[in-house]
Amino acid sequence: MRRRYVYDKRHDKMIEVTELEPPTKARSGPEIMPDIKPYISQIDGSTINSRSRHREHLREHGCIEVGNDSSLFGKPKPLSPSPGLKETLIRVANEKLRYK
């Protein structure tokens, strides 16, 4: 087993880190998540006071909760250049070179 140490300047010695950290309590069962706190909807101003009402409210208004979930976004569509853009860029670049 690996051990970690830190240097204690006051006592001029190395102390094992596990001695400094309090032991973590092992979880003995499932963790219960509390219900959400009531909030006022930005969609219609109604009060939402439970998770089930929150989900129902989103469905009623055709909304989705995004947060940090990037899986809802597809790959960006490649930009298609407008017709004649390449020729315009070449022409402008050539004009700039002529005036130097």
Buried b (16+ CB within 10 A) or exposed e, 55-80: eeeeeeeeeeeeeeeeeeeeeeeeee
Q: Looking at the domain assignment, is residue 10 inside a domain? A: no
Q: Looking at the domain assignment, is residue 14 inside a domain? A: no
Q: How many domains does the chain have?
A: 1
Q: Which residues form the domain of 39?
A: 33-65
Q: Looking at the domain assignment, is residue 56 inside a domain? A: yes
Residue 76 corresponds to which tokens in the numbers above?
């960006």
Q: Looking at the domain assignment, is residue 40 inside a domain? A: yes
Q: Looking at the domain assignment, is residue 58 inside a domain? A: yes
Q: Looking at the domain assignment, is residue 77 inside a domain? A: no
pLDDT tens per residue, the chain (100 residues)? Answer: 677 888 888 888 888 876 555 666 777 788 888 888 999 999 999 999 999 999 999 999 999 887 776 666 777 778 777 888 888 989 989 887 776 5
Residue 68 corresponds to which tokens in the numbers above?
């940090």
